[in-house]
Structure formats: C-alpha cells, structure tokens
Amino acid sequence: MSSPEPTVIELLAGRHPNGQPVIERLPAMPVGERNQFWLLQSPMFVPGIARGDCIELLQNTPGGFRMRMRSGQLCVRVFCRDDIDAIESELTPAVERIGGKLDIRTPRALVYSIHVAVGFTEIEKVFAVVDAAGNAQWSYGNVYDGNGEPLLWWEELLAP
C-alpha cells in the first residue's frame, strides 16, 4: 500500500465586500480518515489554523473545516505597504534561530510558523523589527477569535 501524496485543499478565508467567498489554496497531506488533512504550511488569510494542524473538510460547506487536532504551531503574518525584502532579510534568520519557518513569501507579505513553546514574549521580541520598520504590521493568525478574544488552545498543550 502506498503512502498518501500531498495535495492542495481550498479553504474559506472570508468574504469579499461584494459577498463572494475568498478561497485560499493550501498544501496538505491526507490523513487516513476521509476528508481529514495535515496542513503543510500556515495560511496567509484563513483564520484559526497553522502548519501541522489536522483539519476535517466539511461536506456541505465549500471551504469550511473543523479543527481535529492542533500542532502547537503559531501562524504569524506580516503585511507591508512597500516591498518586504528589507524586513524579510532581518526577520527570517531571527525566526529560524527560535525554530520557526517561513511558509509564504510574497512581495508584500510573509507568513511564519513558530511553535508556541517558544513563548509569546520571545516571539514578540523577534517581531519588534516589524514594528520598528513603520511600514508594516504583524499579527497572529490563530491566537484570537473573530471578536479579538484569545483562543487559549495552547494552555492545555503547555500545561506541566
């Protein structure tokens, strides 16, 4: 029996002001269960998920999904008004030093995956370079819900 091959799944990232769905395509690895996948990178726009999470695609909701298991990875997004080269050249090596990985790079955006065990304080120190740049902003993609309240999924994971 052969092992599964990576595939691309389509997830709902939100809705355009005209009401049309915004879909993000992400590489994923099928899991033994039908419609379940391990994410191979953190998304740029889909909220609440990160690299390594296991999700289940919903049958009757195109692009919809349900969380099955968290990987412990944080999704950290950086958006820049100008070309992102200067920020990326300083930020990526700093993220790699704390065990993180650059998942997506576009001319004006970066997406990183960093394990929550690194600690929010340490991560925020690394991303201070973005704040100092003045033309960019960073945010967590899977730490807060739609109302800005912490999801707190990491508490059980980090409990002694």
Residue range(s) defining the domain that contains residue 36:
7-69
Does 1 map to a domain? no
Same domain, 63 and 108: no
β-strands 73-80, 65-69 pairing? unpaired
Same domain, 152 and 77: yes
Helix (H) or strand (E) holding 107: none
Same domain, 64 and 78: no
Does 2 map to a domain? no
Does 103 map to a domain? yes
Helix (H) or strand (E) holding 85: helix 85-97
pLDDT at 32: 82
Domain boundary pick from 39, 69, 99: 69
β-strands 54-57, 21-30 pairing? unpaired
Domain boundary pick from 26, 52, 69: 69
Does 134 map to a domain? yes
Query: How would residue 4 be classed by pLDDT, with cut points 50, 70 and 90?
Result: confident
Token pair 């991303």 is at which residue? 127
Cα(2)–Cα(36) distance, integer angstroms: 18
pLDDT tens digits, one per residue of 110-149: 999 999 999 999 999 999 999 888 899 999 999 999 899 9
pLDDT tens digits, one per residue of 69-92: 999 999 999 999 998 999 999 999
Same domain, 59 and 82: no
Give bridge partners of residue 29 from the DSSP assignment. 38
pLDDT tens digits, one per residue of 25-61: 999 999 987 899 999 999 999 999 999 999 999 999 9
- Counting beta carbons within 10 angstroms of the beta carbon of residue 141, is it exposed (0 to 12), middle (13 to 18) or buried (19 or more)? buried
Same domain, 94 and 51: no
Does 126 map to a domain? yes
Same domain, 87 and 40: no
pLDDT at 2: 61
Cα(5)–Cα(31) distance, integer angstroms: 10
Does 52 map to a domain? yes
pLDDT at 1: 52
Does 152 map to a domain? yes
